[in-house]
Chain A
């Protein structure tokens, strides 16, 4: 409780000082908007529904991209974990690819798919798939041998061993992979929307910037941060904690 109180006081004070400085020094909103300008811009955006449509469009792309990324990443991770030949060859590509921000592929994606939904979704898929693959591979490879040994003494082998023991044992890693896939996908989505046509949060941000509406730019940055935190805290952190606890990986 203490912590919450401290934070509320801190944020209230920070916003108050920010507002005061901007107003006292008479800084123009186009250079540095005050909190009240940002609030007004967001209010207008939601009132005329543009931000609502933006959010819906962005989430739709993200959802499609993430579903593809999670499926693809899971399959690839399993293949790499199970086949040493494929892991030593194609698998060695994953890490270098992962160190490239997915957004830099946008120029190529635009040539391949055109400046449309597909190009953006491609960037989201790329950002999410690689981390999912890496985590899934680690998950499958680090299944405790005691589980597989125990299952083998109970007549499980081959495919049934995989579906009943190895895959479920890897789920904690898969959850971490999904969480990271969301984070990377979200970044890729915002980046590629900046360079695309609307609607979409990133597109509206670029649009506002072209018209010098810095209050809306900062407002959208706040929304992006807020969504990032909310999805992580409300959704992924909870699932991860639950799974870790159930799988006995968390000390009580």
Chain B
């Protein structure tokens, strides 16, 4: 298997230079306890080794980019779930990246915060030229914002453009006949039944 043009090692290892071009945004991120860590300090940690001034400047830029420069003096433990997600995105992109891996990035957010986060993410993706690979169950969001969809259920079931991969026929094949679309007020989404094995 190859990633960003480099072959993965037997245990999925990548050269450091390549690893630095990839960022990972976890599904759940709840800083333990009341860690006395400011937002600016946290984002600078994502930079890795380097001069302190260089780290701070990169953190300032990343916070600006993610629309949360006003939060830099706040403690991480004081942030709302939506603010925390944007700060986490700033942590991920404090160095120039090529690939962002998102594991259910909307988890823990209400519908409005999830909408705002995805708006920010996809604006940034266009502006920065990132590739974003995300795992999601929010089919409406996937339909609106992704270029290519891979439907997985133990194995690859189908792939292609959203119109093809998420067509009613494909969804019925994936989820079975019990599939019911669900809509709510903030944005349209579909909550399917569990996929059939």
Do they bind each other? no
